[in-house]
Structure 1
Amino acid sequence: MTAEAASTGSRRDPDRRRALLEAADRVIQREGPEASMASIAAEAGISKPILYRHFGDKSGLYQALAERHTRRLVEGIRAEFSRSDSTRARARSSIDTYLAIISANPNLYRFLMHRASAEDAATRSAMSTMIRGVSRELAEVVIAEGDGAGGPIDRTRAYVWGHAVVGMVQTAGDWWLDHAGEVPRSVVVDTLTDLILAGFPRDAGLA
């Protein structure tokens, strides 16, 4: 087998790929956004060029990490906001789920949202696409449910609301990670819920 064929086979081995991503997770959890590719390779017991070879390049590694972790985040938010419950209860549980996930591993969150996104245009684009997708989904749920009295909701207002909600929660989450020892998560969740519902694209039925 040629070296090129061996490299291709390694990239397609899901178990090996998973092991390398887990090594990357461990280093990022310890070192935070400043985790180096050399440290990740050492953790995995391979050289840096071989690490890149498994993912194509550094950009491929960043994108694999982003996909691995943002999927869980998106699925959690989607599940909470799609529940059969009041708008307030769903908004609150969605926000709480988001904050719980990012606070469980703040170093990884900062690495993906700030370090990787700043360094790599493809990763930044992928993260932006994910964020816009969540915004659209929130808007579509609101549009599908109507105004609570059988009437329609303006699509433009719903989309503005959906994108504003995601941006607000993301920015507030960044701030809260720096103040989690001082500010209880419940306070952030309740405050954001009140702000979000104040701008909800209908006037009644928020409780």
Structure 2
Amino acid sequence: MNISPADSRVGPSEDPAGAIDGRAARWQTHREERRRDLIKAARKAVHALGSDASMEDIAGAAGTSKSVFYRYFGDKAGLQQAMGEVVLGQMQRRMKEAAQSAQTPREGLFAMVSAYLQMAESSPNVYAFITRLTPGEASAQDAIAASGALGNFFEQVTEMIATPMRQYLGEDKEALIEYWPTAAIGLVRNAGEMWLGSPASDTKPNQATMAANITDWLCLGIAPMLATT
């Protein structure tokens, strides 16, 4: 019996390579979904247990074993990195949205500082978990700060600050624009983390007041206060 070329072709459903690719794609999708679920569960666990929670504590709260977390994230630093990508990505989007309606660079700074403090205050434990590592993990901390989620976050925020500055100050102030946003981020982060970690008291400013204070320090420094003393 003669078989025509059309009859001899193998359909897509009968292609072994296609079947393997399909299974691989489904498995990859499953792994990505499982990874997202683990990050979400870990975030809830850290929020409840604290930033010093161990992998075993986190896994127990998530209803699984720590070996599962090690399989997906490698180690605790890997989990911090993965959670940081999610949380800092959300923080970056919130800051960008807040700044878009600003009419001046100063209004934009206030909006971004407010959004940053609001999200950090919503879960200090999660914020600490993704921005600091436990003692003895300095090398992993360096990697995260330099090229991971935290480093990317600071790069993006630096550009968010620099862009309106270029529009208002002009290109002849590029030397200022190159350094000032980085210095500003250092002030915001250090002052914000000190505020976040300080206990409640009558003298501790609320979030809105702290955001206004930081914005004033960025734009005016303390010169106005020195002039009145």
Q: State if a TM-score over 0.5 links the two structures.
A: yes
1:47 Cα deviation from its structure 2 partner: 1.9
> Counterparts in 2 of 1:1-207, with a 5 A limit?
9=27, 13-115=31-133, 119=137, 120-121=140-141, 122-125=143-146, 126=148, 127-143=150-166, 145-147=167-169, 151-179=170-198, 181=200, 182-198=204-220
Matched-pair contact (CA < 8 Å) for 2:105–2:164: no
- The answer for unaligned runs of 5 or more in structure 1 is 200-207
Residue 192 of structure 1 and its aligned partner are, at CA, apart by 1.1
Deviates more, 1:102-111 or 1:54-63: 54-63
| 2-structure distance, mates of 1:86, 1:49 | 50
Query: How far off is 1:153 after superposition?
Result: 4.5
- RMSD, aligned α-carbons: 2.7
The 3-state SS of whatever aligns with 1:13 is helix
- TM (norm. structure 2) is 0.73
Q: CA deviation at 1:12?
A: 5.0
Q: Give the direction of change, closer, same or farther, for the CA distance of 1:84–1:190 in structure 2 (3 Å limit).
A: closer
Q: Gaps spanning 5+ residues in structure 2: where?
A: 1-22, 222-229
Task: Give how far 1:174 is off.
Answer: 0.5
- 1:34 is matched by which residue type in structure 2? D
Say if 1:112 and 1:140 are closer, same or farther in 2 by CA, change over 3 A.
Answer: same
Evaluate the alpha carbon distance shift between residue 44 and residue 11 of structure 1 in structure 2; reply closer, same or farther with a 3 A threshold: farther
Deviates more, 1:26-35 or 1:98-107: 26-35
Any runs of at least 4 consecutive aligned residues in structure 1 with deviations exceeding 6 A, and if so which? none
- Deviations along 1:147-196, one digit per CA (max 9) or x if unpaired, are 3xxx5441120121111111111111111112362322222112111121
For 2:109 and 2:130, locate their aligned partners in 1 and report how far apart those are by CA, in whole Å. 25
Shift of 1:28: 0.6
How many residues in Structure 1 have an aligned counterpart in Structure 2?
190
TM-score by length of 1: 0.80
Higher mean C-alpha displacement, 85-94 vs 61-70: 85-94
